[in-house]
Chains A and B, each alone.
Chain A
Amino acid sequence: MRWNRRAFIGTGAAAAATLSAPMLRAQGRPRVVVVGGGAGGATAARYLAKDSDGAIDVTLVEPTRSYYTCFFSNLYIGGFRTLDSIAHSYATLASGYGINVVHDWATGIDRDARTVRLAGGVSLPYDRLVLSPGIDFVEGAVPGWDLSAQDVMPHAYKAGTQTALLKAQIEAMPEGGTYVMVAPPNPYRCPPGPYERISMVAHVLSQTNPSAKILIADPKPGFSKQALFEEGWGRHYSGMIERLGPDFGGGNVRVDPDSMEVDIDGELVKADVVNVIPAQKAGHICDTAGLTEGNWAPVDGHSMVSRLDPDIHILGDATAQGDMPKSGFSANSQAKVAAMAIRGALTGSRVFPAKYSNTCWSLIAPEDGVKVGAAYEPTEEKIASVSSFVSQTGEDAALRKATYEESLGWYEGITADMFG
Chain B
Amino acid sequence: MKRWCLALCLALAPPGAAPAEEEAERLGDAARGAEIFGQCSGCHEIGPGARHRIGPHLNEIFGRRAGALEAFPYSKGMNRAFADGLVWDYARLDAYLENPRALVSGTRMSFRGLKDAQDRHDVLAYLRDFTASPRDIPEAAPTALPREVDLPPEVLAIIGDADYGEYLASECLTCHRQDGSDAGIPSITRWPVEDFVVAMHAYKRKLRPHPVMQMMAGRLSDEEIAALAAYFEKLE
A416 and B212 CA atoms in complex are apart in Å by: 20
A389 CB contact (under 8 Å) in B178, B182, B215? B215
Q: Is the CB of A401 within 8 A of B167?
A: no
If the complex has contacts A406-B185, A408-B184, are A357 and B216 also in contact, measured as CB distance less than 8 A? yes
When C-beta atoms are compared, the residue in chain A nearest to B169 turns out to be A336
Q: What does the 1/0 interface line of A371-410 toward B look like (CB < 8 Å)?
A: 1011101000000001111000000001101100111111
Nearest CB on A from B171, distance (A): 6
Check A235 for interface membership: any CB of B closer than 8 A. no
Check A7 for interface membership: any CB of B closer than 8 A. no
Check A340 for interface membership: any CB of B closer than 8 A. yes
Residues from chain A with Cβ under 8 Å of B216 in the complex: 357, 375
Q: Is the CB of B174 within 8 A of A340?
A: no
Q: Is the CB of B174 within 8 A of A333?
A: yes
Nearest CB on A from B216, distance (A): 7
Residues from chain B with Cβ under 8 Å of A405 in the complex: 183-184
Number of A-B contacts (CB under 8 A): 90
Q: Is the CB of A374 within 8 A of B215?
A: yes
If the complex has contacts A352-B167, A412-B184, are A373 and B215 also in contact, measured as CB distance less than 8 A? yes
Check A355 for interface membership: any CB of B closer than 8 A. yes
Check B88 for interface membership: any CB of A closer than 8 A. no
Check B70 for interface membership: any CB of A closer than 8 A. no
Q: What does the 1/0 interface line of B85-106 toward A look like (CB < 8 Å)?
A: 1000000000000000000000
State how many residues of chain A have any CB contact under 8 Å with chain B.
37
Q: Which of B14-22, B76-84, B122-130, B190-198 contacts A (4 or more CB under 8 A)?
A: B76-84
Nearest CB on A from B184, distance (A): 3
B163 CB contact (under 8 Å) in A350, A374, A412? A350
When C-beta atoms are compared, the residue in chain B nearest to A332 turns out to be B174
Residues from chain B with Cβ under 8 Å of A359 in the complex: 175, 212
Check B141 for interface membership: any CB of A closer than 8 A. no
Q: Is the CB of A416 within 8 A of B84?
A: no
Q: Is the CB of B174 within 8 A of A409?
A: no
A355 and B165 CA atoms in complex are apart in Å by: 13
When C-beta atoms are compared, the residue in chain B nearest to A387 turns out to be B215
Check B121 for interface membership: any CB of A closer than 8 A. no
If the complex has contacts A336-B170, A357-B171, A417-B173, are A410 and B215 also in contact, measured as CB distance less than 8 A? no
Q: Which residues of A contact B (CB under 8 A)?
A: 1, 47, 51, 329, 332-333, 336, 340, 350, 352, 355, 357, 359, 371, 373-375, 377, 386-389, 398-399, 401-402, 405-410, 412-414, 416-417
28 contacts between A and B (CB under 8 A): A51-B166, A333-B171, A333-B174, A355-B168, A359-B175, A371-B212, A374-B215, A375-B218, A387-B215, A387-B219, A388-B215, A389-B212, A389-B214, A389-B215, A398-B83, A399-B83, A399-B85, A401-B83, A402-B80, A405-B183, A406-B175, A407-B184, A409-B184, A410-B174, A410-B175, A413-B173, A413-B174, A416-B177
Beyond A359-B212, A387-B219, list 7 extra A-B contacts (CB 8 Å): A51-B166, A357-B215, A402-B83, A405-B184, A407-B184, A412-B184, A416-B178
Q: Which residues of B contact A (CB under 8 A)?
A: 80, 82-85, 163-164, 166-168, 170-171, 173-179, 181-185, 211-212, 214-216, 218-219, 236
